[in-house]
Structure 1
């Protein structure tokens, strides 16, 4: 008899309040955000306390959770105000904080009792004894190091009841568990205190000495050298994650767009629901993967889950094209009698172009733009101005918070490895 599977939560990034609401509308069970202190994304649209209150209210009304990342590595003086910060989060109703530094963990437990603490991936938890240690300290969930393999996750799940959270989609830091000092040296910005300049993704020439003279060894038809990894995607392997007992499937990308957040959250929601509903008869739909490629910015791989990454999982070598879709508009309203949708423009589009609509839980559909009107109901050929209000005839019913995108260039896709 098959064991009863626990459906994992789909955990999406939310760089600001708009993204929080979109992620939840598009299927996320939980979101993680940043406050205005103690996090690792100083350039993200971090939340004020008032925005947190609104976000928590929105999430809890829809049975979703909100976690706050406070995962910086604290130097002397960095912990000032942490107790008040954690108390405020607790009183707002934040469901948990994600922390890596033992000092901040200790402060949180002492000054904000009742606020759950999750261990950040920055802490490099790679075995069940480590999870048991943190359980003894009072933590209920651990975000596993990105370097753990699937077999290691299975072993961890068999030997501890601590909740496991694992990254399943998004950017992969080239350094071990994100603990990098390259940005400190290259840009004098501390990556572990929120200032990462992403120096690993800069494009470098690569030289060797040839008869005493430097010679660039990067060919003209190759990308300049970088130290950046391709992105992670476990879309085809969600069954393995569920069977291994992973409690939370985490999507990276607090600085990504609402186009990205909505698409990725929606796709993983579909896959998780489909597998958990009938695991014995689950069949992977290639359309799910095709959907992810519409927002991919780099090639995709399975990271460390099934083998040690090689140079093929690094962004270097022959130039590789990836999908290029532009987020064109957001639906504000739809009149079913006239089949006219009111849109807020996000990227230039016009009559004669093929576009695609998609919405929460809905399969997208394509059509050609045949007519456009501005906010004064005057006919126009294009919608060139950012955030302008336009109207168009739509072939199928849509609703508020549906999105419209358009294909920019032809693509050459690389399969998930």
Structure 2
């Protein structure tokens, strides 16, 4: 039985490496100015990322999922030919014009349709398949039953299982452009849907009327984060080819932790599907990274038709986490670890280590030496490189309880 693919985000080269090491089967990255995220890769870094991933038998997909304008096509063909030479495994595309050009000049590279194309039914899936698309990232606004029905078509299907959700149909929104002149459909969304709003009556401009939602404020446009960890077996049974994690703009800690959890869930399920039981420790692990309150999105039904619609999808802006990300293990040899510090790291405090195999351990630093000055230090700050005793493997994540 072939396993479902785990597809993780790569916002930069460092995050790509952590996604690979923590268990992704494939990673996706932004292709220069043609991606819907500002954290895109240069051709040089794409080649480095592809080489690293392929060394670990992991595929790399490049997103060229902007809604293109005429000016975007000026250098696109030349760029696509250069991109093809990096060894990229597939291209993620939303725009029909970009798709057409890609099929003409890079026909050997598989095309995956972006969720921006909003495929919500089997007929649309067949239409895109007839245009040369090999895989479709389905719209988030689908139930499990609808996903299963579309997955019966001859094209591969992929779904988002974790991460941020958009107010609009898979990102087709103009709020950011209108309110901040930042183009959400060119990778520069300012997320005005997550701001706090009040109602003001025209003749009483100084009076703000709260739109009651919770004790703090209203968040009518702000969605919760998606978490379908408990539904992985159902999605596998539905015929999904790939489970996708959102988060190219998220932290390295997020990428490693979330990838690790979904890797464990997938492997545990395939180990014995009939006796699979979801472990609460997986959910606890997902709570450790910075996130908005989790929800199940549309998977069990349309929230707009439910009596608890607001509570299911909309939520206040607050971010939650149970761990602070402090450092990574850059190297380890003969009982000495070199740590790359991300946030304030102090001696003697109780720390937690997440290793690439998904295990958690506790320890404390007795002494640490600043590698630049050679001095013993009591604490280290972001961008420090320090040496301390320990044998945790390279790429381990060091964090502490909030």
Query: Could you tell me the TM-score, scaled by structure 1's length?
Result: 0.89
Give the CA deviation at 1:64.
0.8
CA separation in 2, counterparts of 1:403 and 1:212? 50
**Aligned position for 2:237:** 243
User: Given the superposition, is the C-alpha separation of residues 335 and 48 from structure 1 closer, same or farther in structure 2, using an over 3 Å criterion?
Assistant: closer
User: Residues 188-234 of structure 1: CA distance to partner in whole angstroms, max 9, x if unpaired?
Assistant: 22222223221112222333579897432157941353512000011
Give the CA deviation at 1:333.
3.1
CA separation in 2, counterparts of 1:321 and 1:259? 15
**Aligned position for 1:312:** 311
Instruction: Show structure 1 runs of 5+ residues with no match.
Output: 409-417
**Aligned position for 2:340:** 344
CA separation in 2, counterparts of 1:361 and 1:223? 41
The correspondence of residues 6-405 of structure 1 with structure 2, limited to 5 A, is: 6-41=2-37, 43-44=38-39, 46-158=40-152, 160-207=153-200, 214-218=207-211, 221-225=215-219, 227-309=221-303, 310-316=309-315, 322-336=320-334, 339-375=335-371, 378-383=375-380, 385-394=381-390, 397-405=391-399
2:290 and 2:319 in contact (8 A); partners too = no
**Aligned position for 1:413:** none
Give the CA deviation at 1:386.
1.9
User: Residues 280-313 of structure 1: CA distance to partner in whole angstroms, max 9, x if unpaired?
Assistant: 1112111111111101321001111112232113
CA separation in 2, counterparts of 1:331 and 1:193? 35
Give the CA deviation at 1:315.
4.8
User: Residues 117-145 of structure 1: CA distance to partner in whole angstroms, max 9, x if unpaired?
Assistant: 11110111111121111111111100001
SS in 2 for 1:166: strand
CA separation in 2, counterparts of 1:406 and 1:128? 46
User: Residues 18-45 of structure 1: CA distance to partner in whole angstroms, max 9, x if unpaired?
Assistant: 111111011011111011122111x21x
Q: What's the RMSD between the two structures over aligned residues? A: 2.2
Give the CA deviation at 1:378.
4.3
CA separation in 2, counterparts of 1:343 and 1:272? 30
User: Given the superposition, is the C-alpha separation of residues 277 and 195 from structure 1 closer, same or farther in structure 2, using an over 3 Å criterion?
Assistant: same
Which deviates the most, 116-125 or 78-87? 78-87
Which deviates the most, 111-120 or 74-83? 74-83
CA separation in 2, counterparts of 1:257 and 1:208? 41
Instruction: Show structure 2 runs of 5+ residues with no match.
Output: 304-308
**Aligned position for 2:306:** none
2:293 and 2:315 in contact (8 A); partners too = no
SS in 2 for 1:78: helix
Aligned residues: 395
Which deviates the most, 47-56 or 199-208? 199-208
CA separation in 2, counterparts of 1:356 and 1:224? 36
Which deviates the most, 24-33 or 206-215? 206-215
2:92 and 2:114 in contact (8 A); partners too = yes
SS in 1 for 2:286: helix
1:119 and 1:143 in contact (8 A); partners too = yes
User: Given the superposition, is the C-alpha separation of residues 109 and 211 from structure 1 closer, same or farther in structure 2, using an over 3 Å criterion?
Assistant: closer
CA separation in 1, counterparts of 2:385 and 2:36? 36
Give the CA deviation at 1:314.
4.5
CA separation in 1, counterparts of 2:368 and 2:20? 31
Give the CA deviation at 1:83.
1.4
1:8 and 1:246 in contact (8 A); partners too = yes
**Aligned position for 1:414:** none
